[in-house]
């Protein structure tokens, strides 16, 4: 049985649940119609949604629940909920459980100390599709700690990986670099900096490697200082000892490797051993690196997410990783209209950035037309490199094995 999964922790809009629904319909109808039967054949692919944080609210909200009902009507879908987060928020999912008792799961397996652990369930699902040990797991963090629970989720996820003897790797990007700042001393929450040091120490005691890498461009912008010891070792004066501020390529080096990498909203989609004869796109050269599909869901300018997503995509593509950038939801504001900045302004024009990098090898841009139409927008005609797609096109990007890529899965990251 092949298991594809999405980890979702942020608020889920009806728009997002709707495109997820349409892509799943594409997957099952076009690729695996036999799974739509009441009893799917043994060995059929299964989709699992690992739901924690604010994403759990969508399982209770009446309008969102209707979309979940359509998704769960496809019997090869499972939803695994974080029991502790359900209790914290006072959320009841009994209506969905009564209707889909075998598909909606609100209990978690036991971890060390006989305590239920959602994150152990996440790691257990990863292990199902992975080769025998040794292996690693990674977490990409874009949000700052304390203001956002996702930093704590990353620590719990990597800790659960350690229990399964998986080497922990943290990649700190954008505001995520604050996870490694020295001197953290929160009074009412987990100390994230101490959590990183604890992961490093536990890994060493088990004879496992660990990697905690922060993007130097993001660190420099935020005032983190580093110095070179003269022997090629860059040392930060602002970060905990195991936290390394490095050129972004050092981070992308890890993305060339085959282990599973998650973030607060992300996915891992397995490629079939014998995929469809037609691929939607292809890498420039033969590659074993898992492709990266980046979903840009936020508007530009008011935050760094859209620009950071494109910068990250360019870095991946530069190192030979097939990278697809899809603008959807509020991300379509990046490609709509004609953006202009004053000549003396230091503010970037994201459309100029897209056009400047659009010719890069292994980098492909797309926009979901449904998101444009929903907002009454049209794409800037000068953005010729951004291809228009509908739900079937998005489904092909997510589920068709791309040409020239010899990888077992692809990574989906939501910015």
pTM of the predicted structure, to 2 decimals: 0.94
Mean pLDDT of 360-387: 96
User: For residue 134, is the peptide bond before it cis, meaning its omega torsion is within 30 degrees of 0?
Assistant: yes
Pairing of strands 226-228, 234-236: antiparallel
Q: Residue 231: what pLDDT?
A: 66
Query: Is pLDDT at 84 greater than 70 in this prediction?
Result: yes
For residue 132, pLDDT over 80 is answered with no
Quickly tell me which residue has 């420099």 as its tokens: 220
Q: Give strand pairing partners of 215.
A: 246
SS3 label, residue 367:
strand
Q: Structural domain boundaries of the chain?
A: 1-107, 130-264, 269-339+347-415
Q: Give the per-residue pLDDT at 39.
A: 60
CA-wise closest residue to 256 among 295, 212, 291, 215? 291
CB 60 within 8 A of CB 91: yes
* Average pLDDT along the chain: 91
Distances in Å between the Cα of 193 and the Cα atoms of 68, 144, 208, 226, 238 are 37, 12, 20, 18, 11
pLDDT of residue 398: 95
Quick one: pLDDT at residue 226? Answer: 73
Give the pLDDT confidence score for residue 53 in this predicted structure: 97
Please name the residue that has the structure tokens 């043994």: 42
Domain 1-107 falls in which CATH fold? Hypothetical Protein Ychn; Chain: A, (3.40.1260)
Task: Report residue 221 CA to chain centroid gap.
Answer: 24
Assign 45 a pLDDT band (cuts: 50, 70, 90).
low
Instruction: Determine which of 14-18, 85-89, 276-280 has the lowest per-residue pLDDT on average.
Output: 276-280
- Torsion of Cα atoms, 227 then 230 then 231 then 236, to 10°: -10
Instruction: Report the run of H or E that residue 404 belongs to, with start and end.
Output: strand 403-405
Lowest pLDDT segment from 73-82, 180-189, 235-244: 235-244
Query: Helices 62-72 & 14-26, crossing angle to 10 degrees?
Result: 10
For residue 24, CA distances in Å to 5, 27, 46, 60, 71 come to 12, 5, 11, 21, 8
pLDDT of residue 370: 97
Residue 308 has pLDDT above 70, yes or no: yes
For helices 150-163 and 192-205, what crossing angle results, to 10°?
10
Q: What b/e sequence results for 379-411 when a residue is b if at least 16 CB atoms lie within 10 Å of its CB, and e otherwise?
A: bbeebeebeebebebbbbbbbbbbeebebbbbb
Helices (H), 210-293: 216-221, 248-255
What mean pLDDT is predicted for residues 184-207? 95
Question: Nearest 5°: CA angle at 281, between 125 and 24?
Answer: 45
3 neighbors 126 (Cβ within 8 angstroms):
no
Is the per-residue pLDDT at 33 higher than 90?
no
With a cut of 80, say whether residue 225 has pLDDT above it.
no
- The confidence score (pLDDT) of residue 81 equals 97
369 in Cβ contact with 390 (< 8 Å): yes
Q: What is the mean pLDDT of residues 169-185?
A: 96
More confident residue, 82 or 46: 82
Q: By three-state DSSP, how is residue 277 classified?
A: coil
Coil, helix or strand for 279?
Answer: coil
Nearest to 75 by CA among 115, 47, 110, 114: 47
The top-scoring range by mean pLDDT among 9-23, 126-140, 270-284 is: 9-23
Whether 347 has a pLDDT exceeding 90, the answer reads no
- pLDDT per residue over 270-283, tens digit each? 987 765 556 778 88
Q: Which helix (H) or strand (E) holds 6?
A: strand 3-8
Residue 48 has pLDDT above 70, yes or no: yes
pLDDT at residue 1, as a whole number = 53
Average pLDDT on 341-364 reads 88
Architecture of domain 130-264 in CATH? 3-Layer(aba) Sandwich (3.40)
Which pLDDT does position 198 carry in this prediction? 97
pLDDT reading at 43 higher than 70: no
CATH code 3.20.20.70 for 269-339+347-415: no
The pLDDT value given to residue 35? 65
The three-state secondary structure class of 319 is coil
pLDDT of 25 reads: 94
pLDDT at 68 over 80: yes
Average the pLDDT over 165-188 and give the result: 96
């Amino acid at each position: 049985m092949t298991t594809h999964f999405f980890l979702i922790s942020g608020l889920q809009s009806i728009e997002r649940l709707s495109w997820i629904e349409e892509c799943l319909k594409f997957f099952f109808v076009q690729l695996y119609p036999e799974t739509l039967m009441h009893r799917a054949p043994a060995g059929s692919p299964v989709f699992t949604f690992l739901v924690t944080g604010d994403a759990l609210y969508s399982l209770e909200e009446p309008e969102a629940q209707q979309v979940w009902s359509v998704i769960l009507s496809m019997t090869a879908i499972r939803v695994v909920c974080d029991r502790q987060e359900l209790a914290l928020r006072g959320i009841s999912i009994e209506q969905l459980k009564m209707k889909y008792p075998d598909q909606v799961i609100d209990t978690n397996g036991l971890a060390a100390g006989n305590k239920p652990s959602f994150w152990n369930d996440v790691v257990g699902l990863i292990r199902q599709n992975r080769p025998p040990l040794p292996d690693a797991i990674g977490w990409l963090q874009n949000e700052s700690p304390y203001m956002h629970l996702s930093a704590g989720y990353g620590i719990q996820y990597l800790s659960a990986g350690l229990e399964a003897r998986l080497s922990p790797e943290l990649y700190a990007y954008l505001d995520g670099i604050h996870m490694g700042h020295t001197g953290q001393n929160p009074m009412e929450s987990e100390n994230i900096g101490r959590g990183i040091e604890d992961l490093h120490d536990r890994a060493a005691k088990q004879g496992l490697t660990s990697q905690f890498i922060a993007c130097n461009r993001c660190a420099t912008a935020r005032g983190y200082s580093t110095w070179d010891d003269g022997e090629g070792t860059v040392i930060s004066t602002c970060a905990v000892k195991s936290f390394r501020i490095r050129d972004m390529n050092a981070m992308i080096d890890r993305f060339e490797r085959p282990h599973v990498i998650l973030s607060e909203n992300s996915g891992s989609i397995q490629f079939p051993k014998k995929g469809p004869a037609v691929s939607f796109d292809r890498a420039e050269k033969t590659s074993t690196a898992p492709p990266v599909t980046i979903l840009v869901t936020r508007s530009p300018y008011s935050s760094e997410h859209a620009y950071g997503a494109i910068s990250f995509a360019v870095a991946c593509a530069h190192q030979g990783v097939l990278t697809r950038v899809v603008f959807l939801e509020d991300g379509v504001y990046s490609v709509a209209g004609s953006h202009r900045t004053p000549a003396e302004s230091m503010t970037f024009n994201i459309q100029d950035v897209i056009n400047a990098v659009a010719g890069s090898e292994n980098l492909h841009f797309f926009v979901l037309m449904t998101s444009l139409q929903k907002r009454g927008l049209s794409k800037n005609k000068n953005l010729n490199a951004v291809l228009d797609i509908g739900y079937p096109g998005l489904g092909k990007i997510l589920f068709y094995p791309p040409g020239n890529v010899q990888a077992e899965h692809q990574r989906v990251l939501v910015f």
